[in-house]
Amino acid sequence: MSDGPWLSKDELASWMRLVAVLELLPGVLDSQLRRDDGLMHFEYFVLAMLSEAPDRTLQMRDLAARTNATLPRLSHVVRRLEERGLVARTPCPQDRRATNASLTDTGWAAVRAAAPGHAATVREYVIDALSPEQVDQLKGISAAILSRLDPQGTMAPAYTRYDG
């Protein structure tokens, strides 16, 4: 039942549900962060990646890789975050073409303030909906899909950080 491009009925039932999750979940995450912390989910993700980096600093290029952003997109986002005082950009000493983005103290405080509410949302809509076995299955399924979506492991620094 897995010949040709078409999907079997069981595969379709699985896929359609995943599509619905893809449609609904980002909106829920965005709404909560936007309402409670004035951040889009992608902005929160950028700040979170910086907060976990050495010196809370990453080169734009590396930050773009971890967040799956194009460099233009990241440039716009970081400029806006800088205008709000959450991030600072400094020229990279090693390579004068490069720019380092650093989390400011204000940005660090913003991430720490936003994290509990965000985690609670993730728990409410995802983790607490699943059994412990399903949480484990989800890790395996996501990892398998990521091996196709991200074969080079470009985003791996973002998602392998909490592995045992």
Provide the terminal-to-terminal Cα distance of the chain, rounded to the nearest Å. 36
Cα 89-91-96 angle, rounded to 5 deg: 150
User: Is residue 143 a contact residue for a second copy (CB under 8 A)?
Assistant: yes
User: Is residue 137 a contact residue for a second copy (CB under 8 A)?
Assistant: yes
Q: Which of 1, 97, 133, 140 binds DNA (CB under 7 A)?
A: 97
User: Is residue 60 a contact residue for DNA (CB under 7 A)?
Assistant: yes
Residue 37: strand, helix, or coil:
helix
User: Is residue 87 a contact residue for DNA (CB under 7 A)?
Assistant: no
Q: Are 58 and 50 in contact (CB under 8 A)?
A: yes
Instruction: Pick the closer one to DNA by CB: 59 or 121.
Output: 59
Kindly give, in sequence order, each residue whose CB lies less than 8 Å from that of residue 152, ignoring residues fewer than 6 positions away: none
Q: Which of 33, 49, 53, 64 binds DNA (CB under 7 A)?
A: 64
Closest distance of CB 157 from a second copy, Å: 10
User: Is residue 121 a contact residue for DNA (CB under 7 A)?
Assistant: no
Instruction: Pick the closer one to a second copy by CB: 14 or 90.
Output: 14
Q: How far is CA 10 from CA 111, 120, 138, 141, in A?
A: 41, 32, 18, 16
Within residues 58-97, the interface with a second copy by CB under 8 A covers: 67-68
Phi and psi based region of residue 129 (left: phi greater than 0; alpha: psi -120 to 50; beta: remaining): alpha
Per CB under 8 A, residues contacting a second copy are 2, 5-7, 9-28, 45, 67-68, 116-117, 119-120, 122-130, 134-150, 155, 158-164
